Amino acid sequence: MKFHILTPLFFVVFGFGLSLGGCGKEKSAVSATNQTNLPAVSSSAQLSMQPTLPAELAALNIKDGGVCYLDAINNVPISEKPFVVKVGSDLALIGWAVADLKEGKLGSSPAIQLKGEKNFFAAAEMYKRDGLGKALEHPALEGGGFKAEKVILSVPSGQYHLLFLTKSGGDLLRCDTGHTLVVE
């Protein structure tokens, strides 16, 4: 009988522990509670994916780090399944990214990386996301909204891990969103 009483407690504790482990997982509830605060993804400027980092990021030391979360791809909320898109179509991403959650530090010079057999990059932008600072328990992180709009998927077909990049000091922090993009 003790097993049945403790089983739900185990799953609650285990689930909480999983929510704290790894880039982008610390406060996944932030995104679920702020879906209504997401900006419309619409911009007149189009960007193409490039095989090299933007010039202002190329000289930085690349490190895995930061904390991030992907909310939506092409205005469709993310799921556990890979997101499928066509070669040459537009890509729009909404989420959040911060350089240091504990210290309350935002990054700068945001970009995205599609990591596959070959890597591809595109610029992104940060924006003020109402409620994010409160949800992340640090008011300075309110500006951690992360978006990339109208990025042309000029990449070969294949599977790509989606990473958010932010500059922090002399480092380029690379945060894995935990999601895969399938380009057909």
| Structure confidence at residue 24 (pLDDT) | 43
Q: Extract the tokens encoding 183.
A: 């380009």
Residue 30: its H or E element = helix 28-33
| Structure confidence at residue 128 (pLDDT) | 96
| Structure confidence at residue 134 (pLDDT) | 95
Q: pLDDT per position in the chain (184 positions), as tens?
A: 444 433 333 333 333 333 333 444 444 445 533 444 444 444 445 678 999 998 889 999 999 999 999 999 999 999 989 999 999 999 999 999 999 999 999 999 999 999 999 999 999 999 999 999 999 999 999 999 999 998 999 999 999 999 999 999 999 999 999 999 999 9
Non-local (6+) Cβ contacts of 151 within 8 A are 46, 47, 48, 49, 90, 91, 92, 93, 112, 122
| Structure confidence at residue 14 (pLDDT) | 32
| Structure confidence at residue 161 (pLDDT) | 97
Domain ranges of the chain: 2-183
Are residues 114 and 48 in contact, defined by beta-carbon separation less than 8 angstroms?
Answer: no
| Structure confidence at residue 45 (pLDDT) | 58
| Structure confidence at residue 46 (pLDDT) | 63
Cβ neighbourhood burial of 40 (10 Å; 0-12, 13-18, 19+): exposed
d(CA 164, CA 146): 8
